[in-house]
C-alpha cells in the first residue's frame, strides 16, 4: 500500500451538498492506495447501498475499497478491507467472522501500534500527525517525529503504515519517508467559495480530482526510502 488513501466521509460531503458516488468517481481519477467510505451518521441501508455503488468503480480502477467499522457490510458489499478503530471489533474477531477480508486498524500511540502490529493487520494507521477538524474528540497529536518512529517499527513488522490526521498538500511533503501512504479527508475538498463566488458542483469535483492527483504524486510507486532507512 503506497500513495493516497482517500476517505469519503459522508457527513462532510453532505454538508457540502456533494453526492458521495460522484465524489468517489472524481477521486478515483487519481492513482490511489485505497478508498474508504466513512459513514457514521447514515443508516445501514444507505451505507450498504453506497458501498455497493462504489465497489465496481474501485474494481475498474484496481483500487481497494475499505468499509469503516463494519466487516459484515464489507462482506455484503464485496469490499476488499474493513478499517477498525481502537473501540471497534478486534482484528482476530474480524478474521473469524469474515475470513480473507483485509483489516486495517487505527493506532494513536506506541502501545496501540505494537499491539496492532502483533496481530499482523493488512496495514496500520497512525496519528493524528497534525491537528484535525474532521473527527470529534480526536486523540492527541503525535507529530512527525513520533510518526517516523512508528514507521520504523511498522517496517520491522513488514506492515504498511498510513499517516492520518490533518494532512494537507502543504504538510504532506514532510511525511515522505515517514509513511507508506497518507489518509486524507478534508484536503480533498476545495473551499466552497472562490473570490466570493460559490463553486458549482462540476467545478468542485474538478478540484477534488486535481487535489487527489497532487497528493497521490507525492507518494509514487517507488518507495521513498529506497536508499534510506528502508
Condensed to tens digits (0 to 9), the pLDDT of residues 162-189 reads: 999 999 999 999 999 999 999 999 999 9
Residue 57: which region, alpha, beta or left (left: phi > 0; alpha: psi -120 to 50)? alpha
Question: In total, how many domains does the chain have?
Answer: 1
pLDDT value of position 210: 97
Note if the bond before 102 is cis, omega within 30 degrees: no
Note whether residue 99 is domain-resident.
Answer: yes
pLDDT value of position 40: 87
Neighbouring C-alpha atoms within 13 Å toward the C-beta of 7: 25
pLDDT value of position 136: 66
Note whether residue 172 is domain-resident.
Answer: yes
Note whether residue 228 is domain-resident.
Answer: no
- The CA distance from 42 to 51, in Å, is 12
pLDDT 10s digits, 88-100: 999 999 999 999 9
Domain extent for 49? 3-218
Note whether residue 184 is domain-resident.
Answer: yes
pLDDT value of position 225: 36
Q: Which residues contact 158 (CB under 8 A, 6 or more apart)?
A: none
Flag residues of the chain having pLDDT under 50.
222-230
Q: Is 196 exposed, middle or buried (0-12, 13-18, 19+ CB in 10 A)?
A: exposed
Note whether residue 96 is domain-resident.
Answer: yes
Q: Could you tell me the CATH number of the domain that includes residue 168? A: 3.20.20.70
Rounded to a whole number, what is the largest CA-CA distance in the chain? 53
Note whether residue 227 is domain-resident.
Answer: no
Note whether residue 224 is domain-resident.
Answer: no
What interhelical angle do 201-218 and 20-27 show, nearest 10?
40
Note whether residue 225 is domain-resident.
Answer: no
pLDDT value of position 138: 73
pLDDT value of position 134: 66
pLDDT value of position 221: 59
Amino acid at each position: 500500500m503506497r500513495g493516497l488513501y482517500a476517505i469519503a466521509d459522508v457527513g462532510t460531503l453532505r454538508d457540502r451538498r456533494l453526492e458521495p458516488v460522484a465524489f468517489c468517481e472524481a477521486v478515483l481519477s487519481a492513482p490511489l492506495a485505497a478508498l474508504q467510505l466513512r459513514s457514521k451518521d447514515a443508516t445501514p441501508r444507505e451505507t450498504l447501498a453506497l458501498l455497493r455503488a462504489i465497489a465496481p468503480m474501485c474494481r475498474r480502477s484496481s483500487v481497494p475499497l475499505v468499509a469503516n467499522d463494519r466487516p459484515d457490510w464489507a462482506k455484503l458489499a464485496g469490499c476488499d478491507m474493513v478499517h477498525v478503530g481502537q473501540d471497534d471489533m478486534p482484528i482476530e474477531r474480524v478474521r473469524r467472522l469474515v475470513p480473507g477480508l483485509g483489516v486495517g486498524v487505527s493506532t494513536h500511540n506506541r502501545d496501540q501500534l505494537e499491539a496492532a502490529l502483533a496481530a499482523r493487520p493488512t496495514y496500520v494507521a497512525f496519528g493524528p500527525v497534525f491537528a484535525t477538524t474532521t473527527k470529534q474528540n480526536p486523540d492527541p497529536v503525535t507529530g512527525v517525529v513520533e510518526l517516523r518512529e512508528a514507521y520504523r517499527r511498522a517496517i520491522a513488522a513488514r506492515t504498511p503504515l498510513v499517516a492520518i490526521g490533518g494532512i494537507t498538500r502543504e504538510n504532506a511533503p514532510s511525511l515522505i519517508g515517514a509513511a507508506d501512504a497518507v489518509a486524507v479527508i478534508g484536503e480533498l475538498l476545495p473551499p466552497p467559495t472562490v473570490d466570493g463566488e460559490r463553486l458549482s458542483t462540476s467545478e468542485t469535483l474538478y478540484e477534488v480530482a486535481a487535489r487527489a492527483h497532487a497528493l497521490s504524486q507525492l507518494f509514487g510507486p517507488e518507495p521513498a526510502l529506497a536508499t534510506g532507512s528502508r
